[in-house]
Amino acid sequence: MESPDPRNLVPPGRTAQFSTFVAAVLAVAVLVSAGGLVSFVSTLPDLPAAFWTMAVLAVACDARPFLPPGRGQSSSAVFPSTCFTFAILLGWGLGPAVAVQAVAVVVSGIRMRHAPWRTAFNAGQYACSLAAAYAVTRLGPGGIYDGAALGWTDIAAIGGAGVAWFAVNYGLVTTAVRLRFGERWWPNAWHGLPFELLSTGSLLLLAPVLVTAARASAALVPLVLVPLFAVYRMARLTVEQHQLAALDPLTGLPNRKALLAEVNEQVHRHAERAARGEPATRLALLLIDLDRFKNVNDALGHAVGDRLLVEVSARLTGVVAPPQMVARLGGDEFAIVMTGLSEVGEARALADEVVQALAEPVPLDGLPLDVGGSIGIALFPDHGEDFATLMRHADVAMYDAKHRNDTVAVYTAESDHNSAERLGLLADLRRVLEVGASGRNDGSAPADLTAVRGGDGAVLPTSVPAEEPAGARWWDRRRRRPRVMRPDDELIARIITGADPTLRRAARDAGSDAATAGGAVWSGTRAGDQSDLGGGAEPTAEDRPGAEPGTDAGEITMYYQPQVAIATGEVVGVEALLRWRHPRRGMVDPEELIRVAEQSAVMRLLTRRVVDDVVEQLAKWSAAGLGLRAALNVSVRDLHTGEIADQIADRLARYGVAPERLQLEITEGALMADPRRVLTTITRLHRIGVGIALDDFGTGYSSLQHLRRLPLSEVKVDRSFVLGMVEDADDAAIVRSTIELAKALGLRVVAEGVEDERTWRMLHAAGCDAAQGWFYARPMPAEELAAWLARYRPLRPLGGHDEADIPRRHAR
């Protein structure tokens, strides 16, 4: 059943005000045109043939008006009667013009199936417009065409009459639309103004020419149909080209341009439906990406691939019934627009039908081709209120389905790894690392590492700083900053420093170093201790004196957590943990920091920064007589090339640190991602003398043969098992088995997450070598670690722990 024209309907809740407006327009129309109509009846027999010719043409042309494509409800059709009735107004007055226009409106209303109230309103609006134009013409010296020639005042009166006609007509239509559909329609009406000016304005400007021709001979009046017909045909050709431009030439489906127009129009309709409190106000955008299509193109050629796309489009249109839209975006991507939904389950149901339709092999030249698809779903208004947002979120959901080896996925914020917030965080991280790199004036950055290229091909340039005077120390700088270069002229130096916010901050920091104890961050808050974070918030860039808002990305620093030998209580090493205090977000969660960096080339720059800081810190500890071993975590991206091995070797040699003082921790997930490439990198590190620890053991499903093949020196038991071993016999059994396995292979065992005495004693009884956790100490900056070591007294366990009372989980 054909849906009714929405402009024939009045939304609930707006009937009273809209009806009042329509009644007012009709009353004004009757009032201003009554006198002219009465005089028109009396002069009817005296009207010339030119008038009757124009009247007939006006009514005949409005029987088939021009409907502009894609204008929606924001504009009306173009009625050629405007040209003739305005000419009648100029030549014979208001009464004849209103009468002819009213007949033309009735004919067009019947032809276009307008509601009676709508036909009446159109007649009233035209009567008001003609009355306003007539009033302007009467402001002149009298009848415009009474004389033999037109003067400048006559021409000005004709121009003013046209402007008055257009202003009143467009104003009444726009007001009516706003009263019926709300404020959302006002931007559309404003957007349609140029089209209305061009189309209706052209008809109004043709009217004076038509009157002049009629004064010469009535036979000249029909000649105006020739240019009108030419314009009409050109408009039709434009419409056809517009329609072809919105179609995909291969499949005949709507293309991306048509999809954009459809989504935008449907978004407005559903928003108005929601405002009226109607049900089914959701819109779904389904994005489909074919699987294994590239294999078909590569193996059988693009001609077969094109035939496959045609067959897929036929299957999609067979599943998706109108008024839903199926579009091809390009390549092997398709989209479906579903309207009038109440819940996401309806979109999922259609997506499942599409998956089933695509699951059947496509026979081409006797060869069955298996082509599946991954579908992402985004809903209006839940996941976005415009085409761009819905499209991006549907794309995120589609790739989420691919990564999970699923067929259908609905957008969730958790799967959006490139949200605006994360992109902003990544930009801040890049900035703070680049500032840190430019501040390392100790010559530690070799020339071959002045640019980092990540796995995504992006290049991160880092400046090569000038040399720093001998004797400058890392701990003498509160933050990594560019060196302040001061010209000889003091006045010039003050001008340059005052104009450059970076130099201004660096100069301020240099002046305050005497009052700063080491490289501490803004507050003494320790990362990992959430209870300490509420005591004093990190000053933002706006809060700090002299700081430029938006130029400070915070401070990257390293915290260290002691690793203690369980049997002797001796501190045998530390784990280096990355901390970032953001000026607006406070302490950034380390896991979020790594997730943000790991997907871009920033990860390489971050790893360089961590290696530099840790090796430099080891050198300082050695100079102070502390023989600690430091362990640091590396990403899987770092292990795919030999760059990290070269960098570590260079830093160890530069700072004179023994290789066995450094240890890298790799996760099972990184190991399983690409075992061959990872094995190559860690073998090089092992030959250098750097220790390799397998972190989070037991959580990555790695094969036990990796423990035999890899040059490991240590296994770290994941905290998820250690935290529960006191309360759960299964976790305790896993920890004991891991320790026994590692011991059998000659590996050292470190337990993470030791937070109470019972766990500590159980680990000692199981033979664990070392432990780290809040039972001993929380992560802390390097200067706090030195103070902690000075007051630390070894704690040795005196006996085992009775494990008989540990509860066991129910059998799974």
Which residues are annotated as catalytic?
752
Structure tokens belonging to residue 360: 């059947």
User: What distance in Å separates the CA atoms of residue 576 and residue 592, rounded to the nearest whole number?
Assistant: 17
State residue 137 phi and psi, 5-degree precision. Answer: -65, -30
Q: Please report which helix (H) or strand (E) contains residue 358, including its range.
A: helix 344-359
Q: What is the dihedral of CA 639, 641, 645, 650, to 10 degrees?
A: -140
Q: Which two tokens stand for residue 367?
A: 């060869």
Half-sphere exposure of 240 (CA within 13 A, CB side): 6
Whole-Å CA distances, 317 to 321, 342, 353, 373? 7, 22, 12, 15
- Paired residues of 374 in beta bridges: 289
Q: How far apart are CA 711 and CA 694, in angstroms?
A: 10
Strands 586-587 and 325-330: unpaired
| Nearest to 508, CA basis, from 517, 498, 518, 519 | 498
Query: How far apart, in whole angstroms, are the C-alpha atoms of residue 396 and residue 219?
Result: 67
Output phi, psi for 760, to 5 deg: -60, -45
Q: What is the largest CA-CA distance in the chain?
A: 127
Side chain identity at 593, as an amino acid letter? L
Please choose, from the candidates 25, 30, 37, the residue with its C-alpha nearest in 3D space to the C-alpha of residue 121: 25
- Pairing assessment for the beta strands 571-582 and 748-751 based on DSSP bridges: unpaired
Phi–psi pair at 586, nearest 5 degrees: 75, -150
Task: Find out whether 752 and 718 touch, Cβ atoms under 8 Å.
Answer: yes
Instruction: Kindly report the backbone phi and psi dihedral angles of residue 689, in degrees, each rounded to the nearest multiple of 5, phi listed first.
Output: 115, 5
> Are 238 and 68 contacting, i.e. CB atoms less than 8 angstroms apart?
no
Alpha-carbon distance of 751 to 715, in angstroms, equals: 9
716, amino acid identity = K
What is 704-749 written as a DSSP string? Answer: THHHHHS---EEEE-HHHHTTTTT-HHHHHHHHHHHHHHHHTT-EE
Structure token pair of residue 361: 């092999």
Task: Give the whole-angstrom CA distance, residue 647 versus residue 327.
Answer: 51
CA dihedral 464, 465, 467, 470 (to 10 degrees): -120
Nearest to 480 by CA among 556, 426, 387, 368: 556
Angstrom distance (rounded) from CA 779 to CA 772: 10
- For residue 782, the tally of other CB atoms under 10 A from its CB is 23
Structure tokens at 525: 């808050």
Asked whether 694 and 715 are in contact (CB, 8 A), the reply is yes
User: Strand 333-341 vs strand 325-330: parallel, antiparallel, or unpaired?
Assistant: antiparallel
Please state, in angstroms and as integers, the Cα–Cα distance from residue 753 to each residue in 526, 592, 721, 722, 796, following that order: 17, 20, 9, 6, 18
Cα separation of 78 and 70, whole Å?
14
Positive or negative, the Cα torsion across 524, 529, 533, 539?
positive
End-to-end C-alpha distance for the chain, whole angstroms: 57
CA–CA separation, 736 vs 768, rounded Å?
A: 8
Cα 496 from Cα 486, distance rounded (Å): 9
Closest CA to 473 of 508, 444, 502, 433: 444
